Each structure stands twice: as structure tokens, then as C-alpha cells.
Chain A
Amino acid sequence: MTIYHAGDDSQARPYIDPTPLPDSIPKVQEIGTSSAPLKSAAFFIGAYCKDYNEDFMLCKQDAKGDPGACLKEGRKVTRCATDLINKMRENCLETFDKHWQCLELHNQEYYACRKDERALNKCMFEKLGLTKTIPGSPKGQTPIHDVAKPIYTTVQR
């Protein structure tokens, strides 16, 4: 396997992509968020970017695996998610940080971080009007993230 090194001091300079995307493709800033914040924001991304996400996935279904077919829809998806993360940081930075740091410490399990999650959900509903809903949960039951005394908890509450 060959690894591209542009000269000896390539480590000292910032990385320059030798084969960037063609200029005909509009540039989009990648989201750059790590897994715990993404998991913390997942249900809000699902609620906030529903239309873009569905559009993209339907396009992908028609494209039959061609990565170049849905770049436009894909950019919309990324922009929407970036927009949401920015809004979350503007409005609920404290609760958001607390929740994803809790997820980071607890193997990214939601059930271990209900306290912080409820604070975040409350803030998100008050500031942005977004609620967490899990599709397909049984009707007439408390959704799992609102159960007051769950059976599965961490050892230390």
C-alpha cells in the first residue's frame, strides 16, 4: 500500500487534499461532530430534518448505490443537521453538553443518562419546539425515555 507524502515536511503543513471534489460540485462544510453529540441530537435531527432526510433516502433508493446521484440532496441533509446542531448549541448548550458528556461516560447508552436527557428534552421543547418521539412505540404507554421508575438503570442512580 502506498501512502501519499507530498515532500518530507508534509507533517508540518496542513493537509491538502490532492484530489479534491470537482469545482462543479458546491462545497459544503462537513458536520465534524463526534458520535456522542450526534447520538444525543439524533432524535432532534430526525424531527428537524425529516423532509430532507426522507428526500435523500428516497433518492438513494432510486440511485441503486451510485454515490454521485444524490449529492444535492446529501448537501441539504448535511446543512440541515449543521443548522440544528448550531441552534442546539445556541439555545441549550449547557444541557446538551451535559447529556453528551454523560453518554460518553456511559457507553453511549440512553438509559444511563435519563436525568440529563430530560433536561435537554425540556429545553429543546421550550426553545425550539422539538420533541423526542420514538416511532413504533406501543400506544397508550409512557414512552421509554419518560418512564419514572425504569427497571434497567445503572448501578448507581
Chain B
Amino acid sequence: MPPPGGFESVKYKRNLPFRGPSGIVALGAVTAVCAYGFYRVGKGNLEKRELQREKVWSRIHLVPLLLAEGDRDAYRRQQAALAREKEIMKDVKGWEAGKSVYNNGRYRSADSIVVL
């Protein structure tokens, strides 16, 4: 005979507690984060290129100034070396001071310098 009030209902439902977001959600989130990250990297690469361009042009703008200063010093050294050579070789007949050892008119910087 059934107990008073009837039998207890049969527990047939599975007991599966919620265990966090599903795999699809996690995968989607990771994909979204990565996509945003790569977007920023791409933007950053473009920006880096522009920063490099800025740096290079700042140097290009300074080249004539620095080169002019260096040229004056190089010319001064060249003239001093010439005067020195003239003084040393004044007794040697037929010596041409400052003459290139090559038979072409091309400019050649000094092989050695005297630090003064």
C-alpha cells in the first residue's frame, strides 16, 4: 500500500551544477582579445614607422650643418699638412707638396693625420 500522501516523486533529473561559461564562449573571448591585440600591434607598427621617419628626418635636417663644420676643420687640417710638408721638403728639388700619388684628379682624403 502506498504511504499516506502518495510516493515521493522519482528523481530522474541529472544533477549538473553550472561549471562556468561554455567552451564556445571562452574561445570567442580569446579570439576577441587576440583580435584586438593584433589590431593594436598593427596600429603600433604603423606608428613606429612614422616615429622612425620623424627621427630620420630630424637627422637629415642637421646633416648640412654638421657637415659644414666638419668640412671647415678638415680643410684646416689639409692646409696645415700642406704647409708642414712644404716646410719639411723645401730642400728637395722638384718636390711638389700635396701632389697625389695617383695620376687622376680625384680627391683623396689624407691617409694619416697629425693630431694638433
Contact between chains at B68 and A77 (CB < 8 Å): yes
Within 8 A of A (CB), among B39-79: 40, 43-44, 47-48, 50-51, 53-55, 57-65, 67-72, 74-79
How close is B39's CB to chain A, nearest CB, in angstroms? 11
Residue from B51, B58, B79 in contact with A39 in the complex, judged by beta carbons closer than 8 Å: B58
A100 in the interface (beta carbon within 8 A):
no
Contact between chains at B69 and A67 (CB < 8 Å): no
Contact between chains at A65 and B64 (CB < 8 Å): no
A14 in the interface (beta carbon within 8 A):
no
How close is B105's CB to chain A, nearest CB, in angstroms? 10
Contact between chains at B116 and A4 (CB < 8 Å): yes
How close is A31's CB to chain B, nearest CB, in angstroms? 7
Contact with B along A19-31 (1 / 0, CB 8 A): 1111001001011
**CB nearest to A111 among chain B residues:** B51
Q: Tell me which residues across on chain B come within 8 A of A150, comparing CB atoms.
A: 47
